[in-house]
Amino acid sequence: MIEFDTRPDRDAEVALVGRSNVGKSTLMRELTGHSFDTGGKPGVTREPNHYDWAPEDFVITDLPGFGFMSGVDEDLREEIKTEIVHYLEAYADNVLVAVLVVDGKSVIDIIDRHSGPDEIPYDVEMFHFLRELDIPTVVAVNKMDKVDNEDERLNELCDRLGLYPPWKQWQEVIAPISAKKGQLEPLHEAVREHLHEQNRDDLFKFF
């Protein structure tokens, strides 16, 4: 059984969501300075990781990865995805910003491979689901240090997400980063913009 009801009693939240193996746990470590299990194989994080600061009514949550995980059967994958959806629905009013983490190197190939008349790619589906919940959403495009033509890749991603390119007009939504190298400035700026809109400048110190 996956344990999903471990959330600390905190009102405000920033939630990290995304496929397995896109670097969410590495990003979580960079944001919090606190180490969580990370692994080379997908699906290491099966339950939410929460990190809260004692004096603040605030928590950062790293939700488990969804989609393909080697060595994880389809029933469990679907259960994890369902739990993520339920969690986001339950706490939609508390989540100040959702950060949808994607792998900049492979995201276009993955989206295109799973696009068809009867199939919506998980990343695209999750992006629209978060927006339907009225959760301000930033797409953290990770591993950009491995991408040759950054502008082209980010324009393609905007196109797949239904955002009109060029990507630079969406800098509060699209944030190219490299979590492993600690290059997070576009993400910090995008998250702060959404926090500011919700009168939560007090949380800037975390970003």
Q: Is residue 16 part of a domain?
A: yes
5 within domain boundaries: no
Give a yes or no: residue 55 inside a domain.
yes
204 found inside a domain:
no
Q: Write the CB contacts of 109 (distance below 8 Å, at least 6 apart in sequence).
A: none
Q: Which residues contact 69 (CB under 8 A, 6 or more apart)?
A: 20, 41, 42, 43, 77
Arithmetic mean of pLDDT over the chain: 88
What's the pLDDT score for residue 43? 47
pLDDT of residue 159: 96
CATH number of the domain encompassing residue 177 = 3.40.50.300
CA–CA separation, 88 vs 17, rounded Å?
Answer: 10
Residue 38 falls inside a structural domain: yes
Measured over the CA atoms of residue 122, residue 141, residue 169 and residue 14, the dihedral's sign is positive
Domain count, the chain: 1
Predicted confidence band at 52 (pLDDT cuts at 50, 70, 90)?
confident
Per-residue pLDDT tens over the stretch 175-204? 999 999 999 999 999 999 999 999 999 999
pLDDT tens for each residue of 7-21 = 888 999 999 999 988
CA 30 to each of CA 84, 99, 152, 178: distance values in angstroms, whole numbers, following the listed order: 22, 14, 27, 10
* The model scores a pTM over 0.85: yes
Nearest of 163, 161, 189 to residue 176 by alpha carbon: 189
Q: Which of 2, 4, 46, 43 is nearest to 22 (CA)?
A: 43
- Percent helix, strand, coil in the chain, to 5, is 40, 20, 40
* Peptide bond between residue 186 and the one before it cis (omega within 30 degrees of 0): no
**Domain, as residue range, for 81:** 12-198
Residue 158 lies in a domain: yes
Note whether residue 1 is domain-resident. Answer: no
Helical spans, DSSP H, in the chain? 24-32, 74-90, 107-113, 122-132, 150-161, 185-197
